[in-house]
Amino acid sequence: MARPTGRVLTLLELLQSGGTRTVAELSDRLGVEGRTVRRYVEHLTDLGVPVESVRGRYGGYRLAPGYRLPPLMLSDDEALAVLLGLVAGRRAGLTSTEHTANETASAKIRRVLPKHIARRLDTLLEALAFTDEPGEFDTPNTGVLLTFADAVRHRRPVSIRYTDRHGRRTERTLHAYGIVAHSGRWYVTGMDAQTGEDRTFRLDRIADARTLPGTFEAPAGPGPAQRVLSGFAAAEYQHKVTLRIYGTAQQIRAHLPASVAKLEEHEPPSGQDRGAERWLRVELRAERLDWLPPVLAALDRPFVIERPDELRDLIEAFADRLASYARQA
């Protein structure tokens, strides 16, 4: 059972979250009776915390407007959650260009942790393993990231200087719909005001972002994340592949996700369940084709290659290799 001092601090945290808290709510959250809640409120008042009593049907307690809150306080579980979030963010590459910010934030929290909590954290980090090795990520500038966040919220156009993967530099105006984190990188998706086309840009390739006057209306339809994935699937690559696969959308998506391929889902014939197996058209673009035969083999569904012919040759060669391995066994 928590000690009274701990409950008083918990009461302060609840009141800090804003609004009026009823005695019944506070009693339930603290696990005490109503008269004990009132005694805890008196303790806070004696400490100089301006707790107001609100009368009426929806009355209770609240902090006085304009009260300057004391320094941030975290419970043991909250401190562990924050530190684990910092570790995961650094591991996934979802940090800003200020690479030291993640480390200094972690260090500041660890310095004020009680020793027994610090030991728990060290034990957890020693036991924690990841299924993939951390890579080198190109992280965005903090100012650029925050500029886009504000522009997305207020629907303001943004002027950017962008360098594409070929090293070409351009200046353009973007109506940003949203910011998306995908595979360890940050992206912004929106409409290029000059061309009127939807575009997706890597934030780490934007050298400068400046909010412009005016506003715009966000379009209806897919959300930012889906737009980014669709943009990846439609990107220009060396090979254009078209397949017809017999199966369900769920079966196909398990091996060819939206970030890789476009799936044309037409209405099924009359009387057929939408989730039933049927022929579905799949389109994708790729720089290389040698990864597709193993994927199609793992899919284990009937398929027809419409293009390119080169993929047919690769699949036949892949099948011959599998057959030779089986004979050797």
Full-model pTM: 0.50
β-pair partners for 200: 189
Query: Above 60 in pLDDT, residue 1?
Result: no
pLDDT value for 31: 87
pLDDT value for 275: 67
What is the percentage of the chain residues whose pLDDT exceeds 70? 82
Q: Are 256 and 282 in contact (CB under 8 A)?
A: yes
- Worst-scoring range by mean pLDDT, 31-40, 100-109, 155-164, 317-326? 100-109
What gap in Å lies between CA 261 and CA 286, rounded to an integer?
10
Higher model confidence: residue 265 or residue 165? 165
Q: Are 177 and 152 in contact (CB under 8 A)?
A: yes
User: Which tens digit of pLDDT belongs to each residue from 103-157?
Assistant: 777 777 777 777 777 777 777 777 776 665 555 556 777 788 888 888 888 899 9
What gap in Å lies between CA 199 and CA 35, rounded to an integer?
60
236 SS3 class: coil
At residue 19, φ and ψ (nearest 5 deg) are: 80, 180
For residue 9, the one-letter residue type is L
* Torsion (CA) 122, 124, 127, 128 in degrees, nearest 10: -110
**Burial class of residue 89, CB neighbours in 10 A (0-12, 13-18, 19+):** middle
Summary mean pLDDT of the chain: 81
Q: Are 47 and 82 in contact (CB under 8 A)?
A: no
User: Which tens digit of pLDDT belongs to each residue from 11-57?
Assistant: 888 887 778 888 888 888 888 898 999 999 999 888 888 889 888 77
In order, the DSSP letters of 162-221 are: EE-TTS-EEEEEEEEEEEEEETTEEEEEEEETTT--EEEEEGGGEEEEEE-S---PPPSS
